[in-house]
Structure 1
Amino acid sequence: MAEQTSVPAPGAAYADRPILVTGAAGFIGYHVARRYLAAGRRVVGIDNLSPYYDPKLKTARLAELGRFDGFLFRKVDVADPSAMATIFEAHEPTLVLHLAAQPGVRHSLHKPHDYVSANLAGFLNVLEGCRHHGVRHLVYASSSSVYGAVTAEPFNEHLPADHPVSLYGATKRANELMAHSYSHLFDLPATGLRFFTVYGPWGRPDMALFLFSRAILAGDPVPVFGQGKMRRSFTYVDDIVEGVVRIADRPAVASTAWNGGDPDVATAAAPWRIYNIGSDRSVGLEEMIDTLEAALGRKAVRDYQPMQAGDVRATAADVADLFEAVGYRPETSLEEGFARFVAWYRSYYQT
């Protein structure tokens, strides 16, 4: 692996005004906000504290962030246009990290309107705020789910991503296209980051690592979907954060090489860019469970089941563009990352 380059303290270019982090009580939003606060940056965090999963975990994350003098929290729903306009008017952020969303592939099968409200209308309100308040860079969370039916591996940003297999993935792809229109029309620098299966301390309780840990410790069966043949680019949250803060300090610029006759789908003639952030090692579900068993010191009872609707059989991240842009690629091993998660889980839940 090539040597990773060092960078200045995150957010130095935006020290004149606070950084806005949407979804600050969420898993990734919490970690990103904490990173900037630890570097001495001022952060305005917003979240609607949705009950999609236990809000107690969200309030506990906020309590951790509240230990920093530079943190200001406002309970705001990104889908509320008036409240979002007020946030932008009151704080005039120059860097916006949009990490709020309605997550979950399977939830989108039953509650589709939640995704239209949070992920489409909410993102529009963010774009409008950026447009009208001189934001120098909008960085927003996309997802590996946009690749959908694509089977060419590893997934790279220059592949078409127009066949999502879940509404969640479709809304994330829509975000990328909405951002492009604002970059084109209003010269708004916007960068979309496609995250791959993020895990780690303070993670989401609906994610596999959390669910499997709970089941194994309780002696309950672990549902192994896809008959154990599924693979994922499991990515430790600190690696995601490192990619976010490095990209945030490099506002998207228009590509002088972009050609409308042979369009590159990851770049544009506008200040718009797409990057993958994920481990470049795709891990099988069986290996994932083996590694978790070792971290927990317990054996799992495996319950093999077929694929679930909306799932894809494999994800594999190509992060060459990320490394070329900022000299970084995720590097935390599965063993190290799982050990850190398990240590946090046992401490937080006293198991």
Structure 2
Amino acid sequence: MKILLTGAAGFIGAHCALRLLREGHRVIGVDNFNDYYDPTLKEARLDWVRQEAGDFPLLRLDLADAEAVTSVFEDSRPDVVIHLAAQAGVRYSLSNPRAYASSNIDAFLNILEGCRAYPVQHLLYASSSSVYGANQRTPYSLRDNVDHPLSLYAATKKANELMAHTYSHLFGIPCTGLRFFTVYGPWGRPDMSPIQFAQAIVTGEPLQLFNHGQHQRDFTYIDDIVESLARLLDKAPLPNPDWDREHPDPATSMAPWRLYNIGGQSPVELRDYLAVLEKHLGQRARIELLPLQAGDVLATCADVSDLQRDIGFHPRISLDEGIARFVAWFRDYYHRDPSAAQQEVLPMQMTFPLPS
């Protein structure tokens, strides 16, 4: 298939591009290479993909530019769109809200308009576990209420799900939204906890653990995310014939629209997570235990039963195996030159990661 892949230089996007190219798909990548974190990492990801799977076209443009997006669709006429581009980061949305309106709302509207003008077989797009917001019942079910987001980032991801449903209903665009749970692995973002924590451990910087390290997160290894995406690629949703307006199913619709959780389904306590990092790094962390921080989510856990039923797959990479792979990459990328880590890792935020 000819696949338009947005966010192709991002963490998930680069891994997805590699898988698609290896399977023989024609990939047209798009990325704006913004400076939310060092674009050098994005360039390095692309070099890695091209070394492993060959070259592919990569368009450098801002998806909030409606004319540019229209031209991309007109020129490429994709069969499938995988939309992973977004302004990431929960805490960053507190200080830079307009970046989220532009990257996550305006850009997604332009993607939907492109799919409307140049019909595609399937639009898959990244949502987030953060949409569960104030919900405290675990595991997080697709049938749970998600009307109380706790960040603008989460609100934009929920808005994406609603916008996709509208276009699916009005114009018949098959849309699948994917709620990712705390993705980690090689080539990850430097604002996420694996790189932040690993860097603190190897440099001896103290780690401040709120809630005395008792937070839990449902970590999902990157290969499991990509495997799920690959299996969903040719499974465009159909209208649910049993959908009932009186008792609506929040994960399906009378339109060709669908939602899935993609998570490890095995929440890990922060202290156990750190112990695995310490084991594979061969060093101990300097830890400072602190009380619960206002606004922190205590635990996340994905109910992936719908994913298992529809594609026969659930995430399989254990935390121990995933962290081992991550550490091998971390040492190679950041510590071939010891000064590289200091130059490229963002200032450390010693709090447990919010849902992402």
Q: CA deviation at 1:307?
A: 4.6
Per-residue displacement from partner, 1:276-307 (whole Å, max 9, x unpaired)? 00001010111100111011110001123445
Which residue identity is paired with 1:45?
A: G
Per-residue displacement from partner, 1:216-256 (whole Å, max 9, x unpaired)? 00010123233312110000000000011111220011000
**Partner SS state of residue 19, structure 1:** strand
Q: CA deviation at 1:69?
A: 4.0
Contact 1:45 1:71 in 2 (8 A): yes
Q: 2:289 — aligned with what?
A: 304
Q: CA deviation at 1:82?
A: 1.0
Q: Residues of 1 paired with 2:221 and 2:307: CA distance?
A: 16
Q: 1:5 — aligned with what?
A: none
Note if 1:247 corresponds to 2:212.
no
Aligned mate of 1:142, from 103, 107, 127: 127
Cα distance change, pair 94–306 in 1 and its aligned pair in 2 (3 A): farther
Q: Residues of 1 paired with 2:56 and 2:315: CA distance?
A: 27
Q: 1:151 — aligned with what?
A: 136
Q: Residues of 2 paired with 1:306 and 1:28: CA distance?
A: 33
Identity across matched positions, percent: 53
Q: CA deviation at 1:158?
A: 1.2
Per-residue displacement from partner, 1:148-181 (whole Å, max 9, x unpaired)? 1101110011112111111111110000000000
Aligned mate of 1:30, from 7, 10, 14: 14
Aligned mate of 2:193, from 208, 213, 226: 208
Q: More deviation in 256-265 or 299-308? A: 299-308
Note if 1:181 corresponds to 2:161.
no
Q: Residues of 2 paired with 1:96 and 1:298: CA distance?
A: 43
Q: 2:214 — aligned with what?
A: 229
Q: 1:122 — aligned with what?
A: 107
Q: 2:257 — aligned with what?
A: 272
Q: 2:38 — aligned with what?
A: 54
Cα distance change, pair 80–306 in 1 and its aligned pair in 2 (3 A): farther
May I ask how many residue pairs the two structures share in their alignment?
335
Q: 1:257 — aligned with what?
A: 242
Contact 1:232 1:285 in 2 (8 A): yes
Q: More deviation in 59-68 or 209-218? A: 59-68
Which residue identity is paired with 1:244?
A: L
Pairwise CA RMSD: 1.2
Matches within 5 A, 1:58-77: 58-67=42-51, 68-69=53-54, 71-77=56-62
Q: Residues of 2 paired with 1:50 and 1:80: CA distance?
A: 14
Which residue identity is paired with 1:119?
A: N
TM-score between the two structures when normalised by the length of structure 2 = 0.92
Per-residue displacement from partner, 1:35-92 (whole Å, max 9, x unpaired)? 0011121100000001001110001111223334451101011111111111111100
**Partner SS state of residue 142, structure 1:** strand
Q: Residues of 2 paired with 1:79 and 1:311: CA distance?
A: 31
Q: CA deviation at 1:119?
A: 0.4
Aligned mate of 2:66, from 81, 105, 109: 81
- Structure 1 runs of 4+ aligned residues shifted over 4 Å read 306-310
Contact 1:105 1:310 in 2 (8 A): no
**Partner SS state of residue 336, structure 1:** helix
Which residue identity is paired with 1:225?
A: F
Q: Residues of 2 paired with 1:25 and 1:104: CA distance?
A: 16
Which residue identity is paired with 2:42?
A: K
Per-residue displacement from partner, 1:299-344 (whole Å, max 9, x unpaired)? 0011234455653111001100000000000010100000000000
Q: 2:177 — aligned with what?
A: 192
Q: 1:329 — aligned with what?
A: 314
Contact 1:105 1:169 in 2 (8 A): yes
Note if 1:106 corresponds to 2:72.
no
Q: Residues of 1 paired with 2:274 and 2:136: CA distance?
A: 24
Per-residue displacement from partner, 1:94-133 (whole Å, max 9, x unpaired)? 1100000001010001000010100000100110111111
Q: Residues of 2 paired with 1:262 and 1:23: CA distance?
A: 36
| Runs (5+) with no aligned partner, structure 2 | 339-356
| Runs (5+) with no aligned partner, structure 1 | 1-13
Cα distance change, pair 38–310 in 1 and its aligned pair in 2 (3 A): farther
Q: Residues of 2 paired with 1:70 and 1:245: CA distance?
A: 20
Q: CA deviation at 1:188?
A: 0.3
TM-score between the two structures when normalised by the length of structure 1 = 0.93
Aligned mate of 2:80, from 69, 88, 95: 95
Note if 1:43 corresponds to 2:27.
yes
**Partner SS state of residue 287, structure 2:** strand
Contact 1:106 1:309 in 2 (8 A): no
Which residue identity is paired with 2:120?
A: V
**Partner SS state of residue 268, structure 1:** coil
Q: Residues of 2 paired with 1:137 and 1:317: CA distance?
A: 24
